[in-house]
Amino acid sequence: MRLLLISNSTNAGEAYLNYPKLNIKDFLGSNIKKTLFIPYAGVTFSFDDYALKVQERFSEIGYIVDSIHKHSNPIKAVENAEAIVVGGGNTFNLLKLVQSNKLIHAVREKVLSGTPYVGWSAGSNLACPTIRTTNDMPITEPESFNAFNLVNFQINPHYLDANPAHHAGETREQRLEEFLELNPDIYVVGLREGTMFQIENNKIKLIGSRNARIFKKGHNPIELSTNDDFSFLL
């Protein structure tokens, strides 16, 4: 199984998908020419526009973006894919459309057979057992919260440590502690912006200049860097 799970698409002040594009290229390699893109997380713009936006950046690294929404048979498109790319946006809308198109099993089986999977933000959430550690508002209702279950842990993308000034609500850490209270047997990774996990050959590594924050019920959160061992997550 080969996964590239990216926290965010865009760093502040940069062009869309600019910072991870070379990581995506290194991950996919030169043998892949066409990627199957799943744009279902897009809500305030069309899937056509979303695919064109991704194609603009992917053209710079040598890949064709083939959006699944243009296929009359989405399952067959997954079965024939050279690589699967899942974009960010609203995680609830993404999961609802993946489920309604009967793609949970198809994508899971395809990726488990060795087809590379690239996701950012909501696309990284969908690689987890469920989407219950997303930051997104539930603007629509999927059949369930169960996702592709490609990894054994949960990701919280765009992880932030602090609250904005004058904000009296819960911190991100407190929200994740609520999740852990009801789900004590699973790890949650706070994946900060500008970072990603690469999983290949039963090995996992953190890429980026910032630490990941690891949460587990009954344990104090820990900070791990690119030099640390994340194998306990697998």
How many separate domains does the chain show? 1
**Cβ neighbours for 166, distance < 8 A, ≥ 6 positions apart:** none
Backbone angles phi, psi at 124, to 5 degrees: -75, -40
Query: 22: domain range?
Result: 3-233
If you write DSSP's letter for every residue of 160-201 in order, what string do you get? -SSPPTT--S--HHHHHHHHHHH-TTS-EEEE-TT-EEEEET
pLDDT tens track for 132-190: 999 999 999 999 999 999 999 999 999 998 776 777 778 899 999 999 999 999 999 99
Is 69 one of the annotated active-site residues of the chain?
no
Q: Rounded to whole angstroms, how far apart are CA atoms 67 and 129?
A: 24
Is 49 one of the annotated active-site residues of the chain?
no
Is 158 one of the annotated active-site residues of the chain?
yes
Instruction: Single out the catalytic residue among 136, 185, 219, 231.
Output: 136
Amino acid at 41: A
Backbone angles phi, psi at 65, to 5 degrees: -100, 115
The CATH number of whichever domain residue 61 belongs to comes to 3.40.50.880
Q: What is the pLDDT of residue 90?
A: 98
Instruction: Single out the catalytic residue among 59, 121, 161, 228.
Output: 121
22-26 contacts at long range (C-beta below 8 A, 24 or more positions apart): 22/61, 23/196, 23/198, 23/207, 24/58, 24/61, 24/118, 25/61, 25/62, 25/63
Stretches in the chain below the pLDDT threshold 50? none
Q: What is the pLDDT of residue 34?
A: 98
Instruction: Single out the catalytic residue among 30, 158, 167, 219.
Output: 158
Q: What is the pLDDT of residue 161?
A: 87
